[in-house]
Structure 1
Amino acid sequence: MLFILVGLSLLSYLLGSIPTAIWYGDRYHGMDIRQHGSGNAGATNTFRVLGKKAGCFVLFVDAFKGFAAASLATVLYSFNLVDWQTCVTLKILFGFLAIIGHLLPVFCDFKGGKGVATTLGMVIALHPQAALVSSLVFLLVFAISHYVSLGSMVTSLVFPLLLQFEVFGKELPILIYFGFIISFLVIFTHRKNIGRIISGTENRMYLIPRKGRL
């Protein structure tokens, strides 16, 4: 069992390490996405630099990385190798390792993105209802502010608060604690964005381009 857990942990990290934005940009546009826009190897910068088609692809794959890694624990549960509480704990472990892989990808000199999309995929695997509400909050904040970074930070805080106040019923304490850890991690990786939002220099994005706006 120990070897299985070590193997799945390594697989989770490697899944997260898949540098979707970097490989897509190099394969279809002959560029390193990290040298353009914000320099971030994630979905938001891909949307900004390469357009909606590329951005949607990167968003989906990066989210799937987190979902697939966390779901590895469900496989163990389905074979009765672990109980449900252990399954949830392993979902958190494997999902977190995927996020670390996205932040520090072994395939690209440990320089990756901010992990928001991968975190979203992991959250969907952990708690679909809270993930849905959090996603709606993101869309609302983004629609009002046009800041993806602000929407991401607010959403990361909403998720653990939904669990803390038992909106969907009694939750496992480890899930609540981890929710706040993820919130801290997302806010920490967006610390430069916070400074730009305060100074008014943060880039805005629009779902529907305005007239005269590229």
Structure 2
Amino acid sequence: MITILLLLVAYLLGSIPSGLWIGHYFFHKNLRDFGSGNIGTTNTFRILGKKAGTIVFAMDLLKGTLATVLPLIFGIETISPALFGLFAVLGHTFSIFNHFQGGKAVATAAGMLLGYSPKFILLLVVVFFITFYLTSMVSFASVLSAGVAAILVLVLPAFHLIFTSYDWLFTSIVLFIACFIIVRHRDNITRIRNKTENIFNFGLNITHQKHNI
């Protein structure tokens, strides 16, 4: 029973629509009406600025981490912490507080990995920032990092790097979330192919996208 309750708590944690609430209470703006209409970190940066974007990113990250460590806090050892992180990711994407809509799950998924394996997320952060610098696109960096995560979670345990053995539930969850993130970015992928994706004024923009944020 306690496990079910904590999974529900993990979902509710993930459901907290950080960007939506911060935009509403502090800026009197509904993020769903501006930019991409997304309530996640990138659109918050674009519409509300760096400070708000940083706060939203931190909140979305930490709710994934907190959900993942819930079983450790309550001494539950019979189920992988990654499952609790998955519920937070699903909550973030299908928020009960936002008509079962939400962000694209990148920050909360990163938080889940931070709670489960800091070394693994550190490796992915390196991939993300190198890609972001080269392309100037958060979307491209997010999609590539998700793809790399899917590959590494299959490869690393075979060589006892970071993971000493396979945890197939964790592996399945990472594969699912990676595919989920890529699918959630399908519109971005289309714009990237058409060279019309939004970019930040940072990095090299090697794909020559035309829309600056």
TM-score by length of 2: 0.89
Who is 1:130 aligned against? Answer: 120
2:97 matches 1:102? no
> Which residue, 150, 158, 161 being the options, matches 1:160?
150
State the secondary structure of the residue aligned to 1:153.
Answer: helix
Who is 2:57 aligned against? Answer: 59
State the secondary structure of the residue aligned to 1:38.
Answer: coil
Structure that is richer in helix per residue: 1
CA shift, 1:207, in A, is: 4.3
2:104 matches 1:114? yes
Who is 2:186 aligned against? Answer: 191
Q: In structure 2, what residue type is equivalent to 1:120?
A: A
Who is 2:137 aligned against? Answer: 147
2:176 matches 1:181? yes
Q: CA RMSD in A?
A: 1.6
Q: Please say if residues 83 and 170 of structure 2, whose CA atoms lie closer than 8 Å, have aligned partners that are also in contact.
A: no
Q: In structure 2, what residue type is equivalent to 1:121?
A: G
Q: In structure 1, what residue type is equivalent to 2:114?
A: I
Q: Deviations over 1:172-208 (max 9, x none)?
A: 2222222211110100111111111101111001348
**Aligned partners of 1:76, 1:156: CA distance in 2, in Å?**
30
Who is 1:171 aligned against? Answer: 166
**Aligned partners of 1:108, 1:161: CA distance in 2, in Å?**
33
Who is 2:25 aligned against? Answer: 27
Residues 146-155 or 156-165, more deviating: 156-165
Q: In structure 1, what residue type is equivalent to 2:123?
A: V
Q: In structure 2, what residue type is equivalent to 1:135?
A: V
State the secondary structure of the residue aligned to 1:106.
Answer: coil
**Aligned partners of 2:5, 2:202: CA distance in 1, in Å?**
41
Q: Deviations over 1:129-174 (max 9, x none)?
A: 1100101100000000011011011111222322322232433222
Who is 2:36 aligned against? Answer: 38
Who is 1:72 aligned against? Answer: 70
Q: Please say if residues 64 and 85 of structure 2, whose CA atoms lie closer than 8 Å, have aligned partners that are also in contact.
A: yes
Residues 101-110 or 156-165, more deviating: 156-165
Give unpaired runs (5+ residues) of structure 1: none
**Aligned partners of 2:41, 2:154: CA distance in 1, in Å?**
29
Q: In structure 1, what residue type is equivalent to 2:184?
A: T
> Which residue, 10, 13, 16 being the options, matches 1:15?
13
Runs of 4+ in 1 over 4 A off after TM superposition: none
Give unpaired runs (5+ residues) of structure 2: 204-211
CA shift, 1:93, in A, is: 1.6
**Aligned partners of 1:30, 1:207: CA distance in 2, in Å?**
28
TM-score by length of 1: 0.88
